[in-house]
Amino acid sequence: MADPSDAPVGPQAIIRGMATRTSLSNVFPLGSRLNERGRLEVGGCDTIELAKQFGTPAYIVAEDDLRARARAFVQAGAEIGGADFNVVFASKAFPCTAVLELFAEEGLWCDVASGGELWLALNAGFAGERIVMHGNAKSEAELAIALDAHVGLIVVDNFDELDRLERLLDGANDDVVRRAHVPADGTAHVPSREMPHAASPTAAHAPRSPGPHVAQGPQEVLIRVTPDVRGETHEKISTGQANSKFGFSIADAAAAIARVEGIDGLSLAGLHAHVGSQLLELEPFRREVAELAKLGDFAVWDLGGGLGVAYTESQPRPPSIEEYVATLLAAAREHGMDAPGKRLLIEPGRALCANAGVTLYTVESVKRNVSTWVAVDGGMSDNLRPMLYSATYEAHVADRFGGSTPCVLAGKHCESGDVIVREALLDDPRPGDVIVTPATGAYGYAMASNYNGVPRPPVIFCREGSARVVVRRESFDDLISRDVR
């Protein structure tokens, strides 16, 4: 008789099993808690001790949270019966090698949107055939690298891109291909065997030596279609409306399909769409699928990403991973997209990593005028989202949760708009306090900068009470490391 413990665990059970170990909201990483000293623990590590050991600002990531969410996505598709259902990590959300390696280990695919992201994915161990190449303005050099890496799918965004692909495939731009690999200074733009071991991929993933593209059968492509579907989200992260910089309009889709079919060396696999990010309702996804289905029958359907997450305890509850996957698969099934021989892809980004991370800061000053201003040692150089599109976060003193003092949590940068949390409730904040902002595992590291000459923070993975640096803190020397004198 089978041991009940060997039975598959449902996706929500995976999440709930970790959540039961926390006394905090779902904004924090799974398994987080306040320990006996009233201090926040992430991945079993005391955040006050983490701040002492690694300094601040610092990105703290619960490794088991990342794995749990990856497994929940994969298992949700398997349980609902997606025969060829694939989860593709939108790497722009957290393009950190350790994160990419983890998701590669979990069997995910990888979505990249530049030559640099493709380099990172290959370096982290993703096989070329499990990479989806995106971008609305791919250069010929980037397309040459993608062709040379034999990526699984190139998502074609516009007619100019098709012209570039046709030139590359017929050998008309061999010089561009060569320059994509070896620029004037002799260094490589993609991982190569000549690079130090720590900076190069496995031999199986290393691109060939510089030279024109050599095809291994036709390159499969998807046509990105803008379905004229808008979700409720900030205009700067809405992509599915008709007036968008991304993709072909519904009216141009047929011409794009015909153009691909006329290019030797390309094979049209199917269609792609993405309606926007941080969506907290499911109806736009249903409408997206219905609009795509009107364009024909294809072997591959990439439905994009967009599932929102909880940034504050007070915001509306996001759909669960299980609800999201079930909605997409039901809509796909209704329109015949999951028939035998069909492949479905989804591209979650923040839903895989946002709530796995928190950022730690140290309070440098507290001043009171009209408001109480709590200034910390980071800000827009490590989390641009509040300034870029008014993203909201919450904040806490890491060893005194439950504060009631209304504060403005401000960064250290020379901008009045450098405000991390406009309305924070903190417990009597004072210089030296460690402040934690949860849900920073997506787009903080990715958008970090050196504004005001501030070195970028480290990334610290925490698991079962052990912490390890996976990206070191930048130094002042790093700020001048690329200077040519």
Active site residues: 414
309 class by beta-carbon count within 10 Å (0-12 exposed, 13-18 middle, 19+ buried) = buried
CB of 457 closer than 8 Å to CB of 378: yes
Q: Which two tokens stand for residue 207?
A: 């691109």
Distance CA 324, CA 359 (A): 27
At residue 400, the 3 state secondary structure works out as strand
Give, for 358, the enclosing helix (H) or strand (E). strand 357-368
Torsions phi, psi for 167 (to 5 deg): -65, -40
- Which residues are within 8 A (CB) of 231 and not within 5 positions of it... i.e. 6 or more apart? 238, 240, 275, 276, 279, 281, 284, 306
CB of 216 closer than 8 Å to CB of 228: no
Strand order, beta sheet including 33-34 = 33-34, 40-42, 45-46
Q: Which residue has the tokens 């024109």?
A: 212
Q: List the end-to-end C-alpha distance of the chain, in Å, as a whole number.
A: 73
Q: Which residue has the tokens 């009107």?
A: 294
At residue 88, the 3 state secondary structure works out as strand
Distance CA 128, CA 5 (A): 36
Query: Counting runs of H as helices and runs of E as strands, what totals does the chain give?
Result: 15, 21
Query: 130 — alpha (psi -120 to 50), left (phi > 0) or beta?
Result: alpha
- For residue 262, the one-letter residue type is G
CB of 273 closer than 8 Å to CB of 224: yes
At residue 260, the 3 state secondary structure works out as helix
CB of 14 closer than 8 Å to CB of 68: yes
